[in-house]
Structure 1
Amino acid sequence: MNGALAAAPVLVPLLTAALTVALARWPRRQRAASAAGALLLLLCCAALLQGAIGGMVVTARFGEWDAPFAIAFRIDRAAALMLAVNAVLAVAVLAYPGRGALATPFGAPLVHGLLAGAGGAYATADLFNFYVWFEVMLIAALGLIVAGRRPEHLEAGLKYLVLNLFGTVLLLAAVAGLYGLTGQLNYEALGLALAGRGDDPLALLLGAMLLVALLIKAGAFPFLFWLPAAYPVLPAPLLALFTALTTKVGAYALLRVLYEVFPAAAPTYAQALGWIAVATLVAGVMGAVYHYDVRRILAFHSVSQMGYILLAVALGGAAGIAAALFFSIHHILVKANLYLIAGMIASRGGHHDLRRIGALARTDPGLAVLFALSAAALVGFPPLSGFWAKLLILREGAAQERYLWMALALCTSALTLLSMAKIWIEAFWKPHPAPAAVPQGPLAPGAWAACGMLALLALALGVMPGPLIDFLHQAAATMAAPPSGLAP
């Protein structure tokens, strides 16, 4: 039973992808099968999360092979929570009216392929299979980017492919080197093998290669440029899905690699990672302040917010890991909702350029409230989720006397407020630049349902953060513990 449950985050999306391919000629049936698959995935991930709350760690080994060749899954508290959040988002995204790639016959199969890759990356217990599942994600993501077939889609796909292929080669080379050095691939076995090699130059080099590959996947500075180039060509639901899956898996893997695979060398890497995080914060928010296209503003904010997650990873320890996980969940819910709201803004205003729309607060007050709530959460107004996410990082940073890092993080929050205020003023408050312009058609009920669900979840996370913070501290204590067999 445990094996079937552990495989569900991969098996359910793969079977759904196959079914939706078979139903490609019948769009209504395909949409129904896609939605049913997302709901089944949510139920399976909810069961995994319920077990994790009780302290259960679901493990499975496929193929009856011995280590280090076994295909092993291990779903602990952190993995179960991330899988559940992704499943919730998948349901919301598929409820949102599909456009662009989602409206094509192979949009749904590619979406479920993306979910399968993310599920495998979260569930796997070894580095090589993480590489395999991440590449499944890359292939599905690339297919979704170029599905529009227009020049801008092909250009964005090329930029996405080139930099991510470089990261892929680096990742595979690092995995091969670590296997040659230790004879292991399993996270825990690698941690044991490398625990006494904190100053081994070869081990440090391979670790650095691995971290750079994951930073590329996460869209960190200076490898961030593929993200604002690729994201703005996607329709709103895919933007929401990409922000939850592609970069967050890279950040999650950084936690696993630093604190499970390289426990002895983690302090060495953390210093450099902290400065990379700060540079990511600043570069992302400056891009957001500069642009007027809502999609580009939010894409650069995805970069900037990744900086906060990397900063928490660099701080380390149980508190830093818990802060990184909390911020990841907050960002998935809030930023995905902002991307969906951006699609609604474009539907009602007729454009993504803020200079060509306006007065939406009068014509669509409900949309204005939705945006204001999500924007305030992104900035970090109390008591919304962003406040607690940033407070956890700032508190740990102050405890470690990283005052410059924390000061730059606060300045980034101020610039985030500036860019969110720009969207509010330009899209909702100022008069429409063409007063005779007629608003577009009414928004679909599915759009309201998807955005409303995510807004309520983010609001609940802000109003009642205690249970989740406690749960994440339990998850982080396990992740930050020395490998079994070693004394603390």
Structure 2
Amino acid sequence: MAATDSAVDLSQAMRLEPVLPADWLLVAPLIITILGGALCLMTRKNTAAQPKVAIIFLTLLVLACAGLLAHVLDKGVVTMVAGGWLPPFGIAFTVDALGATLALTSSIVALCAAVYGMTDVDNSGRRYGFYPFLLLLMTGVCGAFLTGDIFNLYVWFEVLLISSFGLLVLGNERAQLDGAVKYALLNIIATTLFLIATGLLYGILGTLNMADIAIKARGADANGPLMTVAVLYFLAFAMKAAAFPVNFWLPASYHTPRIVIAAVFAGLLTKVGVYALLRIFALLLPEARIALADIIALVAIATMLTGVLGALAQTDVRRLLGYLVISGIGSMLAGLAIGTTPALAGAIFYAVHSILVMTALYMAAGMMRALGGSYSLRELGGLYRASPAFAAVFLMLGFAVAGLPPFSGFWPKVILVDAALVGGHGWIAGSILVTGLLTTIAVGRVWIYAFWRGGPEGTADGQLVAFAVPAPSAVGANVWLPIGVLLGLVVLLGVQPEFMMQVSGRGASTLSEPMGYLRSVFGEVAR
């Protein structure tokens, strides 16, 4: 039998166009952090070299993420698929303005933490893996923001959780181990629910690619098995984001590690959970979001109010800040509950603001302890006399987290309140405003007790405590520089919010109108 030639249309199964050089920026963050972590691990006995290695690689990470964001803003959604195979066979990395923005913001925070850690983490902490774990954590965080495959989202969550466990117990103190058990237990439950939901989703739709899921879920019954999947996803990521009522693990664990580790956790980890909720419910399962909107709204309001009320009840600055992290998560969930493009843009803007300001506030808490010798408001006082400049810095960060102008927290709250009122969600708008007022009282209370008051509790009125001069390294450039950089960004986003509004708007548009996302993955064969 004579062999016959048959033409095969590979365009239906593979991406045939060459990968642009700039598209390699999509996987550069993962390569940089893995190589940097490996090199830090190899030099673990050289505790003087580790911070330098980590700072070099994290600087490269910031540059790569900045380049990636610029590329996305210029070209639109960018996709790289393993082997060029189209879904459901190829594993895709897909980044839009939302993922690129959060990756850049997270990389800036990680770089600031590496600099701050030069003072906060001693030689023992370096030997036992602070810098390798930090870089591995960024591998997981960036991978979660850049993946286009929902199972690989699970994988990257596992990577960041493993590294966060290592960071949480660094120091091997009793309180750290106790906090790690609570942190690990809830996150393991959440991860198990995530995996179960992903398995069910694959069984229903036969694909794990996010773009493919978004297409196939359109024709599926939103009230059938997909609703079960959606509820499981919401519960899993609500746990990871520390939303009400599964948020008790956060204030029970974030006050236990070294302050620089708590700062990284407060800035990044819960925001990855919020990102997953935005991606799944706004892009992949929008009908399920509509069906669950009232429940999401109730969770958002409860998260905001319980968080800020918990902050008002605290005397330990670290616990107080932990409750403010929770309160901010409620504001982001409010954007998801409303569901309009402006509301989603407000949630994205708020996430960027929260990453920056909560990291800076935890670092500022470390400086408060360096100056005043304690995290307790009962034992602090007179810090204004010790450092007027630091008193001003903390006050500005307090205004920012409360959503007061002219700082970064003001604009996302304005966007969210406006979107809530336009959409007829008066309760959400009122809760955001009430939360802002109570947050102002909470941070104002810290400033009055720790800075304005003459000394610790029991100090007579009109008297000022005499401070011993702290060691230069305690409040040196390694402490001031990262706090100053983060404060500068907080002020810049408040005074010049136009760029962030544009970027968050682009990210929200991709979620609510996903055709650009789908075409990036499937090309012209997008269905």
Q: Distance in 2 between matches of 1:474 and 1:113?
A: 29
Does the CA-based 8 Å contact 1:89-1:333 persist in structure 2? yes
Shift, 1:58, TM fit: 2.5
What is the number of equivalent residue pairs in this alignment?
A: 488
Q: How do 1:353-364 and structure 2 match up within 5 A?
A: 353-364=376-387
Q: Secondary structure at the match of 1:232?
A: coil
Q: Distance in 1 between matches of 2:347 and 2:197?
A: 24
Does the CA-based 8 Å contact 2:364-2:394 persist in structure 1? yes
Residue aligning to 2:338: 315
Amino acid at match of 1:401: G
Q: Distance in 1 between matches of 2:207 and 2:161?
A: 25
Q: Distance in 1 between matches of 2:203 and 2:289?
A: 21
Q: How do 1:427-438 and structure 2 match up within 5 A?
A: 427-433=450-456, 435=465, 438=468
Does the CA-based 8 Å contact 2:51-2:115 persist in structure 1? no
With the length of structure 1 as denominator, give the TM-score of the two structures: 0.96
Residue aligning to 1:141: 164
Does the CA-based 8 Å contact 2:341-2:508 persist in structure 1? yes
Residue aligning to 1:99: 121
Residue aligning to 2:41: 21
Deviating more after overlay: 427-436 vs 249-258? 427-436
Residue aligning to 1:11: 31
Shift, 1:86, TM fit: 0.9
Q: Secondary structure at the match of 2:93?
A: strand
Residue aligning to 1:268: 291
2:220 corresponds to 1:197 = yes
Q: How do 1:342-361 and structure 2 match up within 5 A?
A: 342-361=365-384
Residue aligning to 1:42: 62
Residue aligning to 1:278: 301
Does the CA-based 8 Å contact 1:17-1:108 persist in structure 2? yes
Task: Note closer, same or farther for the CA distance 1:102–1:283 as it changes in structure 2 (3 Å cut).
Answer: farther
Q: Distance in 2 between matches of 1:446 and 1:181?
A: 52
Deviating more after overlay: 242-251 vs 322-331? 242-251
Shift, 1:439, TM fit: 4.7
Deviating more after overlay: 52-61 vs 112-121? 52-61
Amino acid at match of 1:16: G
Q: Report the RMSD for the aligned CA atoms in angstroms.
A: 1.9
Residue aligning to 2:11: none
Residue aligning to 2:252: 229
Q: Distance in 2 between matches of 1:374 and 1:75?
A: 31
Shift, 1:68, TM fit: 2.1
Identical-residue share of aligned pairs (%): 34
Greater Rg over alpha carbons, structure = 2
Among 495, 499, 517, which residue is 1:467 paired with?
499
Shift, 1:277, TM fit: 0.6
Residue aligning to 1:481: 513
Q: Distance in 2 between matches of 1:148 and 1:273?
A: 38
Q: Distance in 2 between matches of 1:13 and 1:162?
A: 27
2:485 corresponds to 1:453 = yes
- Per-residue CA deviation, residues 123-174 of structure 1 (Å, 9 max, x unaligned), is 0001100000001111100111112211111111100111111001100000
Q: Distance in 1 between matches of 2:143 and 2:502?
A: 26
Shift, 1:2, TM fit: 4.6
Residue aligning to 2:197: 174
2:458 corresponds to 1:426 = no
Residue aligning to 1:440: 470
2:75 corresponds to 1:51 = no
Does the CA-based 8 Å contact 1:263-1:482 persist in structure 2? no
Q: How do 1:291-440 and structure 2 match up within 5 A?
A: 291-433=314-456, 435=465, 438-440=468-470
With the length of structure 2 as denominator, give the TM-score of the two structures: 0.89
Amino acid at match of 1:94: A
Shift, 1:383, TM fit: 2.1
Residue aligning to 2:90: 70
Q: Distance in 2 between matches of 1:141 and 1:402?
A: 37
Amino acid at match of 1:21: L
Deviating more after overlay: 48-57 vs 280-289? 48-57
Q: Secondary structure at the match of 2:27?
A: helix
Task: Note closer, same or farther for the CA distance 1:69–1:161 as it changes in structure 2 (3 Å cut).
Answer: farther
Q: Distance in 2 between matches of 1:411 and 1:235?
A: 32
Q: Secondary structure at the match of 2:255?
A: helix
Does the CA-based 8 Å contact 2:247-2:326 persist in structure 1? yes
2:104 corresponds to 1:84 = yes
Q: Distance in 2 between matches of 1:63 and 1:355?
A: 60
Q: How do 1:232-247 and structure 2 match up within 5 A?
A: 232-247=255-270
Q: Which runs of 5+ in 1 are unaligned?
A: none
Deviating more after overlay: 378-387 vs 302-311? 378-387
Q: Secondary structure at the match of 2:79?
A: strand
Among 127, 131, 142, which residue is 1:108 paired with?
131
Q: Secondary structure at the match of 1:356?
A: coil
